[in-house]
Amino acid sequence: MRSTIDLLRRRVTAAVARACDVDETDVNSMVNRSQDPKFGDYQSNCAMGLAKKLGVKPRDLATRIIAELDVADVCETAEIAGPGFINLRLSSDFVTEQLAAIPAAPADRADRLGIAKIDHPIVVAVDMSSPNLAKEMHVGHLRSTVIGDCVARILEFEGHEVHRINHVGDWGTQFGMLLAYLRRTQPHVLDAPEELRLDDLEEFYVAAKSLYDSDADFAETSRMTVVELQSQEPTVMAVWRAFCYESLRHCHEVYDHLGVRLEDRGESFYRDMLGDVVRQIDEKGLAVESDGAICIFLDGFKTRDGDPLPIIIRKSDGGYNYDTTDLAAIYHRIEKLHARRLIYVVGITQKQHFDMLFAASRKIGWTGDDVELKHLGFGSMLAKDGRPFKTRTGGTVKLKDMLTEAKTRARKVVERNDDEDGRRADLDDATIDRIAEAVSVGAIKYFDLSHNLTSDYKFDWDTMLSLEGNTAPYMMYAYARVRSIGRKAGIDFADLPADTPITVEHDPEMNLARTLLRFAETVDQVAADLRPNILTDYLFELSKAFSTFYDRRHGVRVIDAEPDSLRLSRLRLCDLTARTLKIGLGLLGIQTVEQM
């Protein structure tokens, strides 16, 4: 399966170049999917803008473009609509040939539906999740984690080398307080740091902070511990490493539950690079002293009072801060990892911070035209009433507690058709538990990813776990339903011959076939725009197209279709639907189940 829209863009570009006697590199084909099926499958409005430049009527230019357009093997006759839109409708022969050419799912590696990897892969760094190791992961970390994971999966599917960087907060003044409290409450850790266990990081942090605020002697001890940490005193460093390891253990319990893998790279990783970063900035003549601190001042960034807004790269006391560390991280990812696309999956409230970092990186000279710096900002997750998401007592909701509740609720959904024993008769306890686990994680991820990234959204258990609408349970059920069709038909989809001809005779078949063909271009669009909701919208559309296709009243017969060649053709469409749903959900980080 290849990207149809990419093929059409190349063909229209060539036609415009011939019709207007210009170089193809100067042409924007402006081919996009039609929003209304009555205008075809794809539409180009390139003639509209070009006509004004050339001093001709758009319809006349569209006529010239169509005369040069070579798409007979792809589309029906191109049509002109309105003032000069070019409408393109895929031919049934092209659609069926493309689908029939998809190879069988390989048994020894992941299925790709025959989609080739890109020709020119690059190294990509995705900065995601990034919790503070002093505390438990909370719901505020959910969006960065699942969005970052989805983006990484999509880019890996495209063929890029992706570094999933978990930029954890493991350094700074608060660690002096935490390590001092650890030495006070668990002195045995000094001799055996590997034995450290903290059941609740949040309680530990609250207790340490309470003592710090109420006990002047402990506060002074904490400050001295910071000095020891920064000077890398061996005993303090051993305890610090033990604390970081224990904190990361808590984090990875959550990551494992979510099925997310990352490369942990704490702020401490960059500590030996900070002096060199400041030196490079100074050598470029960009370092400016202000009230004893070393700063960078960038054009276009002002305070609320209209004064120049600085990036402080070294504080007046000689220490460094988050800005210095973030600049060092950019330098390391470009120069050491050789990344050419840096994506930061961080809340939209940090927009100015990243705008300034990126501007500084370009001004220093680290980032040229061959490097993309992208802040993938996202909105907040709110409670159902539109307020900040909190516990009943007003505290922060721990992510692990949300996942536990999700599984409890998902199990009730799976068991909805209970028998007298309170359990579905067709599934044993272990199967119900496995399905509930997959549904619970999938529901949380899908609900998050299906929303527009930059918008806030309201967390709603009922909507999230619904078996109807654009939800993970509905998608997972759609996949399981297709798999059950194979069982009812007495056929293993894996045994269907890869060269089984596909024919489409009715509108529901053609609609499903065309929708299947759009998967490759959907993945390309998500990779380019970094908007996972494009993929969730596509999967929902595919599920609806299949539902209509299989519907007895509005669709076609499948299991009992005659002759057998037609039956096999429709079963092949069923198989391609299931495979597309599985791959698509997998790119969202969601597992499928064979039964629901």
Q: Does domain 122-265 have CATH number 3.40.1160.10?
A: no
Closest CA to 65 of 54, 78, 76: 78
Burial of 373 from C-beta contacts in 10 A (0-12 / 13-18 / 19+): buried
Q: Which ranges of 55-141 would DSSP assign to H, the alpha helix?
A: 58-68, 92-100
Neighbours of 557 (CB within 10 A): 12
Please identify which residue in the block is written with the tokens 């990352």: 262
Return the amino acid letter for 411. Answer: R
Helix, strand or coil for residue 177?
helix
Judged on CB neighbours under 10 Å (0-12, 13-18, 19+), 277 is buried
Tokens coding 578: 């299931």
The reported pLDDT for the residue numbered 423 is: 61
Q: At 281, is the secondary structure helix, strand, or coil?
A: helix
Structure tokens at 306: 């209209």
Query: Strand pairing partners for 125?
Result: 163, 342
The two three-digit tokens of residue 170, written as one number: 């493991």
Produce one character per residue of 320-346: b if its CB has 16 or more CB atoms within 10 Å, e if not.
beebbbbbbbbbbbbeeeebbbbbbbb
**Identity at 255, one-letter amino acid code:** Y
CA distances from 436 to 149, 253, 401 (A): 21, 18, 16
> For 4-90, which CATH class?
alpha beta
Q: Which two tokens stand for residue 214?
A: 């109420």
d(CA 160, CA 162) in angstroms, rounded, equals 6
Cβ atoms 78, 19 nearer than 8 A = no
Spell out the domain ranges in the chain: 4-90, 122-265, 271-375, 399-587
- Give the number of other CB atoms < 10 A from CB of residue 36: 8
In angstroms, the CA 136 to CA 203 distance is 9
Q: How far is the C-alpha of 51 from the C-alpha of 38, rounded, in Å? A: 25
Burial (Cβ within 10 Å: 0-12, 13-18, ≥19) of residue 218? middle
Quote the DSSP letter at residue 115: P
Q: State the pLDDT at residue 455.
A: 93
Contact predicate 472/410, CB 8 Å? no
List CB contacts of 49: < 8 A, sequence separation 6 or more: 30
Helix (H, G, I), strand (E, B) or coil at 297: strand
Amino acid at 522: T
Peptide bond before 563: cis, by omega within 30 degrees of 0?
Answer: yes
| CB contact at 8 A, 278 and 314 | yes
DSSP one-letter string for 410-453: HHHHHTSS--TTSS-TTS-HHHHHHHHHHHHHHHHHHHHHTS-T
Total residues found in the chain within this entry: 596
The sign of the torsion formed by the CA atoms of 486, 488, 489, 492 equals positive
Contact 105, 111 (CB under 8 A): yes
Quickly list DSSP for 106-159. Answer: PSSS---TTPPPPSS--EEEEE----BTTS--BGGGHHHHHHHHHHHHHHHHHT
How does strand 293-302 pair with strand 308-314? antiparallel
Residue 459: what pLDDT? 94
Judge whether 596 and 435 are in contact, CB under 8 Å.
yes
Query: Distance (Å, rounded) from C-alpha 63 to C-alpha 68?
Result: 9
* C-alpha 163, offset from chain centre: 14
- Asked if 189 and 195 count as a contact pair (C-beta separation under 8 A), the reply is yes
> How confident is the model at residue 421, as a pLDDT?
55
The per-residue pLDDT string of the chain (596 residues; one tens digit each, 9 = 90 and over) reads: 779 999 999 999 999 999 999 999 999 999 999 988 889 999 999 999 899 889 999 999 999 999 999 999 999 999 999 999 999 999 999 999 999 999 999 988 999 999 999 999 999 999 999 999 988 899 999 999 999 999 999 999 999 999 999 999 999 889 999 999 999 999 988 888 888 999 888 899 999 999 999 999 999 999 999 999 989 999 999 999 999 999 999 999 999 999 999 999 999 999 999 999 999 999 999 999 999 999 999 999 999 999 999 999 999 988 899 999 999 999 999 999 999 999 999 999 999 999 999 999 999 999 999 999 999 999 999 998 898 888 776 778 999 999 999 999 999 999 875 555 556 778 888 999 999 999 999 999 999 999 999 999 999 999 999 999 999 999 999 999 999 999 999 999 988 887 889 999 899 999 999 999 999 999 999 999 999 999 999 999 999 999 999 998 899 999 999 999 999 999 999 999 999 999 999 999 999 999 88
What confidence score (pLDDT) does residue 546 get?
A: 97
Spatial contact of 307 and 340, defined as CB atoms under 8 Å apart: no
Rounded to 5 degrees, φ, ψ at 492 are -90, 115
Give residues with Cβ within 8 angstroms of 203, minimum separation 6: none
Q: Give the domain 399-587 fold.
A: Isoleucyl-tRNA Synthetase; Domain 1 (1.10.730)
